[in-house]
Structures are given as structure tokens and as C-alpha cells.
Amino acid sequence: MRIENVELVPEHGQYKVDGSGRIIIPAYMRNKFKIENGDYMEYFTAYVDGDWFLCARKNEEYTEQKKQEEAAKAAAKKAKKKK
């Protein structure tokens, strides 16, 4: 994937990576990008002017697919319990 004319906007803040490699996505950013608990994210790297950047975006299609699969499993489990 190639993107031309990328504008990088700093999101003021420093966030420490924990021992499992996780970083916090602050609430204001989750709200801004409509990221909810359980959403799946895609990660990309970008090399711009000699610096590497980590970029992320919500994968809405994959998130919806997984939510539907989880709902189907839950319904099957519930139906099995009723028997």
C-alpha cells in the first residue's frame, strides 16, 4: 500500500509500552476514531524522511465478521443448553 501526501498529526503524549508489548490508546483517541472494546486493529509501518512510524486503523470489516461469529457461537451454545 502506498499513500501519497501523508500529513502526520502529533497526538501529544508519551505512552509506555508494557511487558506484553501493549500501549494505551487514550479514551479521547478511542472516541475520536470510534474504537470500542473488542474491535480489531490493523497495523502499518511508514518510512517518512528517515523515520519509521507505526500506524493503526480499525478494521471494521474483520471486526464485524468476528462479532457475527461470536454471536453465532453464543446462540449455538445457548440452544445446546436448552436441550
Compute the mean pLDDT over every residue in the chain, rounded to the nearest whole number.
88
Amino acid at 41: M
d(CA 54, CA 48): 11
The reported pLDDT for the residue numbered 42 is: 94
For 23, the 3-state DSSP assignment is: coil
d(CA 33, CA 63): 14
State percent of the chain over pLDDT 90.
49
What is the average per-residue pLDDT within 7-29? 89
pLDDT in tens, 23-59: 999 999 999 999 999 899 999 998 888 989 998 999 9
For 52, the 3-state DSSP assignment is: strand
d(CA 61, CA 67): 10
Which alpha helices (DSSP H) does 1-83 contain, by range? 27-32, 60-82
Confidence of residue 17 (pLDDT cuts 50, 70, 90): very high
Confidence of residue 80 (pLDDT cuts 50, 70, 90): confident
